[in-house]
Amino acid sequence: MHRGTGMTPNPNNKREYIMFKRILLKLSGESLQGKQGYGIDDERLAQYAEQIKSIAQRGVQIGIVIGGGNIFRGLSGTQRGFDRVKGDQMGMLATVINALALQSALEAIGQPVRVLTSIRMEPVGDFYNPAKAIRLLEKGTVVILAGGTGAPYFTTDTGSSLRALEIKADVMLKGTRVDGIYTADPEKDPKATKFAEITYDEVIQRGLKVMDITATAMAKENGLPIYVFNMDVEGNLEKVINGEAIGTLVKP
């Protein structure tokens, strides 16, 4: 059973323990934009790269799906008159731009990393296939899975559920700007409270905006646990790997 819920010894240091051996980390495009409201914030990018490298060094195998909302979203494109399919293709290409930025930031600090794309575009990245991704992960290479699912009408959240299952990740870690899932938007409702755990069904029934329904349903149908946490606080990714309860776990 690949879905480890217990603690796994860190192969590089017998005294340290890691909660998850293989993860799929979802980063939204929006969080990459930092304070500037558009595009890529260099500081945020470097901070993400450091956090990723530090858990890779502890032996965690890391697949990353990155969004494109900081550059283009198909749905907002249609409001401006773009054809939906073309708009979504533009969105998927935006995720590739972000993937290359993250690859470059990881390489700059000496972390082995490869970009695999769901749409053929060598030499930008190799064409994705799950076996290749798993081979790279087993060698300790961080793998960035760019281009979402490769199909329009999906989001990178759904791409994350799909890729997490394909690469047999123990968990999908959704790094966001908030520290978990709340009963209501904590920025609008001061009475909103945070869930430590929640079921997939409750996320869907309450209409919580943490992930789209397709992504949540796919995780539910295949028993993929999702952990939502604030990736913008330095060191938080490491805390999640250590098993610290800093976010919200979505489970059956």
Q: Which residues of this chain interact with ligand UDP, rule CB under 6 A?
A: 28-30, 67-69, 73-75, 87-88, 91-92, 94-95, 148-149, 151-152, 154-157, 159
State the Cα–Cα distance between residues 104 and 114, nearest whole angstrom: 10
The interaxial angle of helices 156-166 and 130-138, nearest 10 deg, is 70
Q: Of 20 and 128, which has the nearer Cβ to ligand UDP?
A: 128
In this chain, which residue has its C-beta nearest to ligand UDP? 67
At 174, the amino acid letter reads K
Q: Of 10 and 95, which has the nearer Cβ to ligand UDP?
A: 95
Sequence-ordered list of residues with C-beta below 8 angstroms from that of 71, at least 6 positions apart, any chain: 29, 38, 39, 94, 97, 98
Q: Of 86 and 139, which has the nearer Cβ to ligand UDP?
A: 86
Q: Of 75 and 140, which has the nearer Cβ to ligand UDP?
A: 75
Least distance CB 177 / ligand UDP (angstroms): 11
Least distance CB 32 / ligand UDP (angstroms): 8
Least distance CB 186 / ligand UDP (angstroms): 19
Token pair in block for residue 151: 């199909």
Burial 156-184 (b: 16+ CB within 10 A, else e): bbbbbbbbbbbbbbbbbbbbbebbbbbee
CA distances to 24, 194, 202, 206, 224 from 183, rounded to whole Å, are 25, 6, 10, 8, 22
Q: Of 50 and 212, which has the nearer Cβ to ligand UDP?
A: 212
Residue showing tokens 């994350």: 160
Least distance CB 47 / ligand UDP (angstroms): 17
Least distance CB 13 / ligand UDP (angstroms): 33
